[in-house]
Structure 1
């Protein structure tokens, strides 16, 4: 029935928190899956707020289990998220955003 039809990603069921910035929506996968380039885990993704286009993704060793947060120290922006589930006891993981144009605390 769906042969020949290109169905885009439709998401996953589950409850997860999001963080919304001036230009981005950041959310992690609520379920553990196997990604093409990584072992079992989940992805933390960033989307353009206006278009919904995915603009970045990073691997997490387990599903998101808490709302992501963003903070800045010494001009460097970070996103931190709690991950846990199954045999994975859990931890907070902080990801540094890549250096781009000068950021402020109200920036992207």
Structure 2
């Protein structure tokens, strides 16, 4: 029983440390992405069922150790033509490019 517990704890510890975020230098992050809103909107329009239905409210961009980050509140129509409801997303940019996008409820308000 102790060996099973040790294996499980080792696996959990490996998963946690493997998920640690890397910190980037200012040179790796690059300058502020002034068109960050357009990049995010283009992404959602490219994956939406109805690209013209995408409604997005985006907050200010902030410099973090992971890159330039901004939150957005997004809503779009589904296959039935109804809006699905607001979802929050966190965008990370480095060197003017979108490098990561995660659904994040904290971005709703």
TM-score by length of 1: 0.32
Structure with more of its chain in helix, by fraction: 2
Q: Which TM-score applies when normalising by structure 2?
A: 0.32
Structure with the largest fraction of strand:
1
Structure number with greater CO (CA < 8 Å, separation at least 6) is 2
